[in-house]
């Protein structure tokens, strides 16, 4: 089952199911189902009710990928896990971590799976990080690794875009990970019953060139270990998103670095989930402010 959010206006989103090349308006078929994804994920018998809406044959329309927003347009929490593939740790010149490196991405970084992403005015050091992510489906705290699969709604593809100079200026990575438009994910949530999250092929392709290629079997700390850790700290809620880490091949690892420039097209593909494809554009300077480093340059 695939669950997505489509734009019904500039700031309004509607949760749908995706079936082949059609979407099913779930609330249009069953008016008791919430229209907003975070609320929808909290429905107790969600799988059965979505299946009934899909099998009704009603409320269907053609899938327009350009209308897709991030499946959870404004998650309450968006975590990232750093240095979680051995090859990425090696290219960073760091020892294999004994404990997960966790950072936060601010929810305002979220954008859609086919939306433009901005190289910011203040930096030219924009980098890609293709990752598998998961979305929490149940409010939970102190979840064991053995029980963690039961709180995951499903899995998504993520590009954890990173502004490297901002990231590396401080020990805390939040600023470098949280620029507006730097959290595209989707294109939909593939529900947990459809996926083995630890055996998926992953690629990041820039302008047709494969830059990253690995498999989620190579995660150092798997999804369930991540939930055990995170839920020991704070309550996880439906719609919370976790980016599980990236593999080797990021732009920073090249000599010289191969950072993204306006016009680049970045595609993140994950087996069994789908693909994101985002075009890099130059952030426009606000009225009355001169463009700084990185603005309007190719």
Convert the pLDDT of each residue in 265-277 to its tens digit: 999 999 999 999 9
Classify residue 264: in a domain, yes or no.
Answer: yes
Distance separating alpha carbons of residues 8 and 1, to the nearest angstrom: 22
Classify residue 168: in a domain, yes or no.
Answer: yes
> Are 135 and 205 in the same domain?
yes
Q: Is the N-terminal amide bond of 256 cis, ω within 30° of 0?
A: yes
What separation, in Å, do the N-terminal and C-terminal C-alpha atoms of the chain show? 40
**pLDDT digit string, tens, across residues 230-242:** 999 999 999 999 9
> Are 123 and 33 in the same domain?
no
58 or 91: which leads in pLDDT: 58
For the cut 70, the answer to whether the pLDDT of residue 112 exceeds it is yes
Distance separating alpha carbons of residues 129 and 101, to the nearest angstrom: 15
> Are 113 and 201 in the same domain?
yes
Mean pLDDT of 157-177: 96
Classify residue 287: in a domain, yes or no.
Answer: no
Q: What is the CATH number of the domain that holds 90?
A: 3.90.850.10
Number of domains in the chain: 2
Strand ranges inside 216-294, DSSP E:
241-243, 265-270, 274-282
**How confident is the model at residue 290, as a pLDDT?**
62
Map 40-98 to HEC letters. HHCCCCHHHHHHHHHHCCCCEEECCHHHEECCCCCCCCEEEEECCEHHHHHHCCCCCCC
> Are 12 and 58 in the same domain?
yes
Classify residue 292: in a domain, yes or no.
Answer: no
Are 206 and 259 in contact by the 8 Å Cβ rule? The answer is no
Are 197 and 223 in contact by the 8 Å Cβ rule? The answer is yes
**pLDDT digit string, tens, across residues 209-255:** 999 999 999 999 999 999 999 999 999 999 999 999 999 999 999 99
Classify residue 294: in a domain, yes or no.
Answer: no
For 252, the domain range is 78-282
- As a whole-number percent, the residues of the chain with pLDDT over 70 amount to 96
Classify residue 295: in a domain, yes or no.
Answer: no
**How confident is the model at residue 95, as a pLDDT?**
87
Question: Where does residue 218 rank: exposed (0-12), middle (13-18), buried (19+ CB within 10 A)?
Answer: middle
**How confident is the model at residue 232, as a pLDDT?**
98
Name the H helices within the chain.
26-29, 37-41, 46-55, 86-91, 164-168, 174-177, 223-233
**How confident is the model at residue 172, as a pLDDT?**
92
Mean pLDDT of 186-211: 97
> Are 54 and 150 in the same domain?
no
The candidate with the shortest Cα–Cα distance to 70, out of 125, 26, 19, 109, is 109
> Are 40 and 153 in the same domain?
no
Between the alpha carbon of residue 95 and those of residues 85, 90, 139, 242, the distances in Å are 11, 7, 34, 23
Question: Where does residue 130 rank: exposed (0-12), middle (13-18), buried (19+ CB within 10 A)?
Answer: buried
Confidence label for 295 from pLDDT (cuts 50, 70 and 90): very low
Count of CB atoms within 10 A of residue 115's CB? 20
> Are 216 and 156 in the same domain?
yes
> Are 65 and 118 in the same domain?
no
Of 14, 34, 69, which residue is a domain's last?
69
**pLDDT digit string, tens, across residues 117-139:** 999 999 999 999 999 999 999 99
**How confident is the model at residue 294, as a pLDDT?**
44
| Mean pLDDT of all residues belonging to the chain | 94
**How confident is the model at residue 152, as a pLDDT?**
98
For the cut 90, the answer to whether the pLDDT of residue 93 exceeds it is no
The candidate with the shortest Cα–Cα distance to 245, out of 173, 142, 147, 150, is 173
Mean pLDDT of 281-297: 68
> Are 211 and 271 in the same domain?
yes
**How confident is the model at residue 296, as a pLDDT?**
36
**pLDDT digit string, tens, across residues 145-155:** 999 999 999 99
Mean pLDDT of 108-124: 98
> Are 163 and 19 in the same domain?
no
The candidate with the shortest Cα–Cα distance to 16, out of 78, 81, 62, is 62
Classify residue 19: in a domain, yes or no.
Answer: yes
> Are 148 and 25 in the same domain?
no
> Are 157 and 32 in the same domain?
no
Classify residue 209: in a domain, yes or no.
Answer: yes
Residue 240 CB-half CA count within 13 A? 23
Distance separating alpha carbons of residues 154 and 50, to the nearest angstrom: 14
């Amino acid at each position: 089952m695939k669950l997505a959010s489509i734009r019904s206006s500039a700031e309004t989103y509607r949760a749908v199911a995706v079936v082949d090349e059609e979407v099913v308006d779930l609330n249009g078929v069953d008016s008791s189902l919430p229209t907003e994804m975070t609320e929808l994920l909290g429905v107790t018998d969600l799988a059965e009710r979505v299946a009934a809406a899909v099998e009704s044959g009603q409320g269907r329309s053609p899938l327009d990928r350009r209308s897709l927003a991030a499946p959870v347009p404004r998650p309450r929490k968006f975590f990232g896990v750093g240095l979680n593939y051995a090859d990425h740790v090696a290219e960073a010149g760091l020892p294999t971590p004994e404990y997960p490196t966790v950072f936060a991405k601010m929810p305002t970084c979220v954008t859609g799976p086919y939306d433009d992403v901005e190289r910011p005015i203040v930096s030219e050091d924009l980098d890609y990080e293709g990752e598998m992510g998961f979305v929490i489906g149940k409010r939970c705290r102190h979840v064991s690794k053995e029980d963690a699969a039961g709180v995951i709604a499903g899995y998504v593809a993520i590009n954890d875009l990173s502004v490297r100079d901002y990231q590396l200026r401080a020990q805390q990575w939040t600023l470098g990970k949280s620029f507006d438009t730097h959290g595209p994910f989707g294109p939909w949530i593939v529900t947990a019953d459809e996926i083995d999250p630890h055996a998926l092929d992953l690629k990041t392709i820039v302008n047709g060139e494969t830059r990253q290629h690995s498999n989620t079997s190579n995660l150092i700390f798997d999804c369930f270990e991540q939930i055990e850790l995170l839920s020991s700290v704070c309550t996880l809620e439906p719609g919370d998103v976790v980016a599980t880490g990236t593999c080797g091949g990021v732009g920073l690892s090249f000599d010289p670095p191969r950072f993204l420039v306006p016009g680049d097209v970045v595609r993140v593909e994950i087996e069994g989930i789908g693909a994101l494809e985002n075009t890099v554009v130059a952030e426009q300077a606000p009225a009355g402010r001169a463009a700084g480093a990185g603005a309007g340059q190719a």
